[in-house]
């Protein structure tokens, strides 16, 4: 293991084993922007604890200041943090990476984007394994977390997610049965569909029905194919029947973006169930 990586692991371990006051501390964040991509180094700029990449479909007013990125090491035993998890017994923040990332663009910063953005957290503090149970959770600031994972990839770990809006992100080990995770994601999509214009709801509801039927029949290929159709329809209706813009002023409803993000994380979980079971 590289000495720099080892030092990062020792730092994380020392902070976790220390007092709550020592653990809950802000980390320096250095942000660079090029086009539709923002890259943030979290911790020491020469040897960061993690690197965060945000890639947008179509961003306007993107700058380090307009993003409002913050990061802190947290106490993974903090009852207030654990109470925000859907199942504190089966969702476990990692002692090797007790990192909470907050992306809260200032209302006056001018940032807006269409459809979705992609979140990738790259860290050497976690070890990748095939069928990894690491997941990306997202929450409103101070609110409840939910799984938004789109991919967990090697290198050492690259945790990827998609979003139609921002707030806080946390990487955890998820020990819940995959079928229950899928059910929660379908329920979240149904709740989102219920907020759409009445004429837009029936096709999406029918697609979600078809996904559930395919899952009951263990027809994962069709379940994934129909999930792709949800994404295709959301993309086709973006800016037409569906609103598709997020604004820092918080006065827009990114309907298409949230559907695209929900379908992406649902597809990840269905593929995980197909490949690795519960």
Q: What does the pLDDT average to over 196-216?
A: 98
Same domain, 227 and 260: yes
What percentage of the chain has pLDDT greater than the value 90?
88
Instruction: Record the pTM.
Output: 0.90
pLDDT greater than 70 at residue 23? no
CATH code (residue 24)? 2.60.220
Same domain, 200 and 151: no
**Domain carrying residue 222:** 178-276
Same domain, 148 and 184: no
pLDDT greater than 50 at residue 19? no
pLDDT greater than 90 at residue 27? yes
Same domain, 21 and 141: yes
Q: Single out the residue in 128, 159, 174 at which a domain terminates.
A: 174
Same domain, 11 and 132: yes
- Residue 163: what pLDDT? 93
| Three-state DSSP string of the chain | CCHHHHHHHHHHHHHHHCCHHHHCEEECEEEEEECCEEEEEECCCCCCCEEEEEEEEEEECCCHHHHCEEEEECCCCCHHHHCCCCCCCCEEECCCCCEEEEECCCCCCCCEEEEEEEEEEEECCCCCCCCCCEEEEEECCCCCCEECEEEEEECCEEEEEEECCCEEEEEEEECCCHHHHHHHHHHHHHHHHCCCCHHHHHHHHHHHHHHHHHHHCCCHHHHHHHHHHHHHHHHHHECCCECCEEECCCCCCCHHHHHHHHHHHHHHHHHHHHHHCC
- Residue 236: what pLDDT? 98
pLDDT greater than 80 at residue 165? yes
Q: Single out the residue in 142, 174, 206 at which a domain terminates.
A: 174
Same domain, 51 and 142: yes
Number of domains within the chain: 2
Q: Single out the residue in 174, 196, 219 at which a domain terminates.
A: 174
Give tens-digit pLDDT for 97-121: 999 999 999 999 999 999 999 999 9
- Residue 155: what pLDDT? 85
């Amino acid at each position: 293991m590289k000495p720099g990586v080892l030092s990062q692991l020792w730092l994380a371990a020392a902070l976790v084993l220390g007092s709550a006051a020592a653990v809950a501390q802000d980390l320096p964040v250095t942000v660079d922007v090029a086009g539709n991509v923002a890259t943030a180094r979290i911790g020491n700029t020469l040897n960061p604890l993690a690197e965060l990449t945000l890639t947008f479909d179509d961003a306007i007013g993107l700058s380090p200041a307009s993003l409002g990125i913050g990061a802190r090491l947290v106490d993974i035993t903090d009852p207030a943090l654990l109470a925000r998890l859907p199942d504190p017994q089966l969702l476990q923040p990692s002692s090797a990476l007790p990192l909470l990332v907050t992306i809260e663009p200032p209302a006056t910063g001018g940032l807006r984007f269409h459809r979705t953005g992609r979140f990738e957290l790259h860290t050497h503090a976690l070890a990748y394994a095939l069928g990894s149970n690491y997941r990306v959770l997202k929450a409103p600031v101070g609110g409840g977390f939910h799984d938004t994972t789109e991919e967990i990839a090697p290198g050492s770990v690259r945790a990827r997610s998609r979003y139609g809006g921002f707030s806080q992100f946390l990487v955890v080990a998820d020990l819940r049965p995959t079928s229950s995770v899928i059910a929660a994601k379908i329920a979240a999509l149904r709740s989102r569909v219920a907020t759409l214009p009445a004429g837009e709801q029936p096709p999406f509801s029918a697609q979600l029905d078809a996904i559930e039927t395919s899952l009951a029949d263990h027809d994962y290929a069709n379940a994934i194919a129909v999930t792709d159709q949800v994404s295709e329809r959301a993309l086709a209706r973006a800016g037409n029947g569906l609103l598709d813009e997020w604004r820092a002023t918080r006065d827009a409803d990114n309907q298409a973006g949230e559907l695209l993000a929900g379908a992406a994380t649902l597809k990840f979980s269905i593929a995980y169930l197909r490949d690795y079971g519960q």
